[in-house]
Structure formats: C-alpha cells, structure tokens
Structure 1
Amino acid sequence: MVPPLVLDIDGTLTSATGGIDPRAFETLRAWDAPVVLATGKAFPYPVALCHFLDIPERVIAENGGVVYAADEVTVTVADADRPQAAARAFVDRGGDLGWGAADTVNRWRETEVAIRRDADEALLRAVAEEFGLDVVDTGYAYHLKTAGVEKGRGLRSVAETLGHDPADFVAVGDSENDVSTFDVAGRSFAVANADDRARAAADHVTDGSHMDGTLEALASLS
C-alpha cells in the first residue's frame, strides 16, 4: 500500500530549467492512492495539469486560497478583495507587478496576487503590512495573501473531503509555502533545491533536486 501524496509543482515536479518533467506523467498516473497538487499558482493551472496528467482533479491552489476535491470547490478567503486593493496601492506608489499588460499570472487568481521577485520587495512588504497581509516568497514569485491562508489548511480540507486523516499524506515540496503542508502531513520530503525554511521543516531532504528528488522520495515509499 502506498500513501496519498500532496505535491508542490514548481521546483518539485519540474526540471531544473522549468516546465513539468515528463516523468511526472507516468509516475503520478500509476500512483495507487490519491494525489493532491498543492501550489501557489492560480486555480486553473493545477486543474489543467491534473487533466493532462490524467489523474483526478484534487487541487490546493493559491497557497490554500482555493481548494478542490470530489467536485467541491471551496474559496477559503473571506475578504478576497483586500490583496487586490493592496496590489493597486503598490502599483500606485511606483511598484510593478512585473507580468506585463495581459498578466496571465493573476488573470484568474481569486484570493491573492502574485508579484515578480525582481519587484521592490521593501515597498511590497510595507504595503502588505498596512493592509494586514502576508508576503510569501515561493522562489518563483512573491505572493500577497491573507494571513493564515496556507497549503496546510488546504490539506486538512482535502483530507476530510476524501475521508483521510491529513497524517496519512506524504508531502513533497521545495519552498517556504510548503512548510505548513509539511507540518500537517504525516511525512515530508524537501527536494535538494529547496529553500532553507522548507529544508528545516521537512522530515527528509532528498539527494536529488527537482523531479529527481521527488522520484527519490516516492521510491522510498513503494
């Protein structure tokens, strides 16, 4: 028997140069237990990835802001307009979200705002503090989000929907936003490219980076 999984996407299911590692398709499709994708990306992205992986759509998106399992979508943020207001204030004061006019990174985002990591971090954090929001650095973007909304909280919700204890799950991730998942899951792995906070929070750190590390973790479970 293999355990259910909760997996980050960027840095965890990807190659070192970016993009989903092709080995994820066969590996996750063949996994004989629920697989949940937990990401900072907007909701449509992990849903589409589940579709192309040909696995059931079980998703924790926007760092826990949107949760989807068993045909039930839950938006967990009571005041989803506040991050948008803070982002406008950031731009009004000279900041730049960094994604261009189309901004497909935030176009479908419901509960938070993502900002490129080359943005003015000091200004962003100052604005976030004024609005009572958190800034999380995922290594790929800054996320302007409501305090207390985390992937780990999303995992509790998905586990309940699926009839599992959250401690049944094994988590794999690579960044600060995976720490809450590691705290909730029964066992956790940080891949070798993980940031310091993820490495410190994980039960194990793999020798391999990116998808190599994920495959290493999964091989130890089967």
Structure 2
Amino acid sequence: MLKAVVTDLDGTLTDRRRRISTAAIEAIRNLVDAGVPVVLASGNTTCSLDILCKMIGTDGSIIGENGGVYRYRFDGKLQVAGRQEACWDAYHRIEEHFAEEGKALTLYSPENRFADVAFARTVSPAETAEVIADMPVRAVDTGFAIHLQYDGVTKGSALAELAALMDLVPDDFLAIGDSENDTEMIRRAGVGAAVGNAVPGPMAAAEYVAEKKYGEGFVEIVRKYRPYFLER
C-alpha cells in the first residue's frame, strides 16, 4: 500500500506556461483531506515552497533546491544537505569562464538558498557541466534554470532522509515528475510515475507514464493509484 505522495512542481503541477493547474490543486487537497501527506519537491527556494504549501493546503513538508534542503511540516527544522561552499567555488569558475566569452551570469535568489547555487539559463548547460567536470559539483538543468548541486545530493537522496522523519520509507511514496532532476526521486519511490510531457530520464525510470501532460497528467496518475493508498 502507498501512504504518501511526493511531486515535482514546474512542469508537473503546472501547464506549459508555468501556471499552476487548478485540477492538480484539487487532487492534492483531496489527498490531504483523506489523510495522505503530499510533499512538494522542487528546485525552488524554501520561502517559495512555503507560500505554495500554504495556498495549496499541505502540511509544509518539502524538498527544495533539488534535494539540497528538506523539511517535515511547517514546524519542523529545515535540514540542509550537501556543501554550498563547493557550489560557490564551481560558480566562480563558471563565471570566469563565460566572462571570457563576454557573457554575464544572473543569480537566482542567492540570499534564500542554503545548499545550491542557481542562475539563469542564458548559457549552455552542457558547456557549464564541462567547465566543472573535475569538481565535486554537478550542473542540474531543470529547463528553467541551471543549478549547481554537490555530488550525491538529489531529490531522491532527500526523499530517503525525509521519509525517515515522517516514520515512512521511500517505498511508501508515489513519486511524480517530469524533468531529469526528478529521475532519482522517481526511481527510489515505491511507485514512480511521469507526466506525459516528461523528458526521457524520468520516463525510463517510471513505472507509469501518463497519457496527459502537465497538471492533467498529475491528476491522471493520482486517479490511477488512489486505490493503492492506505489512509492514515
């Protein structure tokens, strides 16, 4: 039996224009009202996820910064994984590299990030990865931004740690996503699913791929697996 849901945000609960799906919100609220915990997992900052949790109606359990931070409920302590100082070292090398090409990088909310470093997707993600290939940091291309994250830190690793705080194990979760940074989370969960607009990585890792895309795909997945949940 499944006991909880962990879901990506951008591209999974939204439409192609990044507007959050009202049908997906309704599906999440139905789960929460039935006693099924729902965890939002994103590359976004904690403060951004807090706003969404409050407005959607979850208990504040989150995975942020692509696994770099996680928390069980609003009143829980924010846990920080990885080494942000290593990410900053990588960022400065990347910054110098592209400066030589006459390109400047634009940071995203550095004051609100505790584990990773994120910047605008105005340079080549592949070239970015090559620049830091010998460093213990990887470049995560979410399709919306480029994130620098310490090796081994993923949404999947955060799921394993968060599950323990919730008195659960990863096998208790239905994980839903669409991007490469969701692949490990989908692979580690008891059931992994991908929405119809997903890229190859999460599709290959998923037990089920929705026919519908974006938020409608999320609703399709929840409906398919709803009978497998043990309400708490």
- State the TM-score, normalizing by the size of structure 1: 0.90
Give the C-alpha shift of residue 75 in structure 1. Answer: 0.4
Q: Which of 73, 78, 82 in structure 1 is aligned with 2:78?
A: 73
Q: Is the 8 A contact 1:170 1:185 kept in 2?
A: yes
CA distance in 2, matches of 1:204, 1:189: 5
With a CA cutoff of 8 Å and minimum separation of 6, indicate the structure with the bigger relative contact order. Answer: 2
Which residue does the alignment assign to 2:123?
A: 119
Which residue does the alignment assign to 2:11?
A: 11
Give the C-alpha shift of residue 43 in structure 1. Answer: 1.8
Which residue does the alignment assign to 1:147?
A: 151
Which residue does the alignment assign to 1:27?
A: 27
**Structure 1 alignment gaps of length 5 or more:** none
Which residue does the alignment assign to 1:90?
A: 94
Give the C-alpha shift of residue 156 in structure 1. Answer: 0.9
Q: Secondary structure at the match of 1:220?
A: helix
CA distance in 2, matches of 1:88, 1:3: 42
Q: Secondary structure at the match of 2:112?
A: coil
Q: Deviations over 1:126-148 (max 9, x none)?
A: 33224321112222222211110
CA distance in 2, matches of 1:14, 1:190: 14
CA distance change for structure 1 residues 81 and 27 in 2, over 3 Å: closer, same or farther?
same
CA distance in 1, matches of 2:19, 2:105: 22
Letter in 2 for 1:16: R
Q: Secondary structure at the match of 1:170?
A: strand
**Structure 2 alignment gaps of length 5 or more:** 227-232
Which residue does the alignment assign to 2:174?
A: 170
Give the C-alpha shift of residue 86 in structure 1. Answer: 1.8
Q: Is the 8 A contact 1:98 1:119 kept in 2?
A: no
Two-structure CA RMSD over aligned residues (Å): 1.8
Q: Could you tell me the percent identity over the aligned residues?
A: 32
CA distance in 1, matches of 2:79, 2:130: 30
Q: Deviations over 1:176-204 (max 9, x none)?
A: 11111112111011111101111111111
Larger fraction in helix: 2
Which residue does the alignment assign to 2:112?
A: 108
Q: Is the 8 A contact 1:97 1:114 kept in 2?
A: no
CA distance in 2, matches of 1:199, 1:14: 18
- Number of residue pairs matched? 217
Q: Is the 8 A contact 1:128 1:144 kept in 2?
A: no
Letter in 2 for 1:44: C
CA distance in 2, matches of 1:13, 1:214: 7
CA distance change for structure 1 residues 122 and 5 in 2, over 3 Å: closer, same or farther?
closer
Mean CA deviation greater in 17-26 or 178-187: 17-26
Mean CA deviation greater in 203-212 or 46-55: 46-55
CA distance in 2, matches of 1:67, 1:176: 19
